[in-house]
Amino acid sequence: MAVKVTLKGPPLAETPLSAPGVMRDIGELLLRRLRKRTREGKDVHGRAFRALSTAYAKAKHKALGHDRADLTVSGRMLADMAVRPTKNTVSVYFTSAGGKATGRTLIQRSRAIGAADKAEWHTISGAGKSRVKREWFDLNAADEAAAQAVLDAYLENLK
């Protein structure tokens, strides 16, 4: 028995298998997933973030009215994430540079520190005096599957 395969559409060599538009879509999807998970106080593995220290929780509650471990004080770290697409890659990065914790209030001190520095402290080196790690700036299998679904849909629509 013979099988015949027929290509419908442009030659495969001329078919764009990816593009900045779909890479941007994937990056924005991943950005939404990272922000949502973090605001819910969950790490990349879906586990609740380790609780805040007593002193920091008290200061956060005084400043914001809550003491959730959700990596938000000023909102700058999550707001300063952006996507940079190319033809076949996308990067999620931080737009703000580093700085020193200056200012009188908790929020002022938080805003003075660059988002990339905060992300590194929480994810890699640990934050605060106890060096608590809250692994949030990473992707898990569900994130990868969601990104793959966007790419698959793009390729399917090329027909």
Task: Please determine, for residue 41, whether its predicted confidence score (pLDDT) is greater than 80.
Answer: yes
Task: Please determine, for residue 96, whether its predicted confidence score (pLDDT) is greater than 90.
Answer: no
pLDDT at 122: 84
Considering the chain, what is the average pLDDT of its residues?
85
pLDDT at 159: 64
Mean pLDDT for 16-37 is 89
Q: In terms of Cα–Cα distance, which of 153, 158, 141 is closest to 44? A: 141
Which of the four pLDDT bands, split at 50, 70 and 90, describes residue 3?
A: low
Which of the four pLDDT bands, split at 50, 70 and 90, describes residue 4?
A: low
Task: List Cβ neighbours of 69 (8 Å cut-off, separation of 6 or more).
Answer: 41, 48, 49, 50, 51, 52, 134
Task: List Cβ neighbours of 146 (8 Å cut-off, separation of 6 or more).
Answer: 29, 30, 33
Task: Please determine, for residue 1, whether its predicted confidence score (pLDDT) is greater than 60.
Answer: no
pLDDT at 75: 82
Q: In terms of Cα–Cα distance, which of 54, 53, 88, 60 is closest to 75? A: 60
| Cut 0.85: pTM above it | no
pLDDT at 119: 86
Task: Please determine, for residue 118, whether its predicted confidence score (pLDDT) is greater than 60.
Answer: yes
pLDDT at 17: 64
